[in-house]
């Protein structure tokens, strides 16, 4: 995948497939330690010990439509090529946490890409799932929590057109402010 934000979109699909209704995304860009981490935590059905052991194997999947699982192994390879690694913690019936760490300045680290596109896509396509997005950039924070937005909306669907426009601007401004004008 060309962008870390595309990996993120794909990894969150696993949480959705695992019937999670709360998904937390945490991104940390820390220049002091030259480290970038992307963490997805869900309350889905989790993985058994044996699934967890084989999950990084590109030929493993519990899906029935295609015989190879790719998402996690691609993400792991990308992290490992960039001086980092991928760690998965999971407990059956409790949930799963996937964390990928990259060396920020590594030449093979893919760009972050269109995070706003990834977030809007996730929210519009999965209006009943709650999503909490926390992005820390050099000590500054941007947070968007769909539970909070839904409370304000009081029954109006979160994927209603004008609400989506509002979120688009909210995310765009929030991320721009975070980067303080700095473009990757």
Ligand X SMILES: Nc1ncnc2c1ncn2[C@@H]1O[C@H](COP(=O)(O)OP(=O)(O)O)[C@@H](O)[C@H]1O
Q: How far is CA 21 from the centre of its chain?
A: 14
Contact 157/163 with Cβ under 8 angstroms?
A: yes
Say if strands 95-103 and 85-91 run parallel, antiparallel, or are unpaired. antiparallel
At closest approach, how far in Å is the CB of 126 from ligand X? Answer: 14
State the Cα–Cα distance between residues 133 and 152, nearest whole angstrom.
Answer: 17
Contact 20/14 with Cβ under 8 angstroms?
A: no
At closest approach, how far in Å is the CB of 172 from other proteins? Answer: 9
- Paired with 98 in beta bridges are 40, 88
- The interface partner of residue 108, options being Mg ion, other proteins, ligand X, none and the CB cut-off 5 to 8 Å by kind, is none
At closest approach, how far in Å is the CB of 78 from ligand X? Answer: 13
Residue among 100, 174, 115, 135 nearest 30 (CA): 135
Which residue of 29, 42, 99, 130 would you call a contact of ligand X, by CB under 6 A? 42
Tokens at 141, concatenated: 């924070």
Query: Is residue 112 close enough to count as binding ligand X by CB under 6 A?
Result: no
- The interface partner of residue 62, options being other proteins, Mg ion, ligand X, none and the CB cut-off 5 to 8 Å by kind, is ligand X
CB closer to other proteins out of 18 and 104: 18
CB closer to ligand X out of 70 and 175: 70
Contact 8/133 with Cβ under 8 angstroms?
A: no
Which residue of 9, 25, 38, 72 would you call a contact of ligand X, by CB under 6 A? 72
Please, which of residues 47-66 interact with ligand X by CB under 6 A? 47, 51, 55, 60-63
Query: Is residue 41 close enough to count as binding ligand X by CB under 6 A?
Result: no
State the Cα–Cα distance between residues 96 and 105, nearest whole angstrom.
Answer: 28
CB closer to other proteins out of 84 and 113: 113
Query: Is residue 14 close enough to count as binding Mg ion by CB under 5 A?
Result: yes
SS3 label, residue 139: coil
Q: Which residues sit at the interface with Mg ion, rule CB under 5 A? A: 14, 71
Residues lying near ligand X in the complex (CB under 6 A) are found at 14-15, 18, 42, 44-47, 51, 55, 60-63, 69-73, 96
């Amino acid at each position: 995948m060309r962008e870390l934000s595309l990996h993120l979109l794909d990894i969150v699909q696993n949480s959705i497939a695992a019937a999670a209704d709360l998904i937390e995304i945490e991104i940390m860009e820390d220049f002091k330690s030259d480290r970038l981490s992307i963490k997805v935590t869900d309350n889905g059905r989790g993985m058994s010990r044996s699934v967890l052991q084989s999950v990084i194997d590109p030929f493993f999947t519990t899906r029935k439509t295609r015989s190879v699982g790719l998402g996690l192994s691609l993400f792991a390879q990308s992290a490992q090529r960039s001086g980092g690694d991928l760690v998965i913690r999971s407990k059956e019936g409790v949930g799963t946490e996937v964390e990928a760490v990259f060396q920020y300045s590594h030449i093979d680290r893919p760009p972050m890409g269109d995070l706003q596109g990834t977030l809007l896509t996730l929210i519009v396509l999965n209006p009943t799932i709650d999503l909490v997005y926390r992005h820390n950039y050099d000590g500054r924070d941007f947070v968007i929590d769909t539970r909070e937005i839904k409370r304000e909306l009081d029954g109006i669907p979160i994927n209603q057109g004008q609400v989506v426009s509002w979120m688009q601007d909210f995310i765009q401004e929030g991320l721009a402010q975070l980067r303080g004008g700095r473009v990757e």
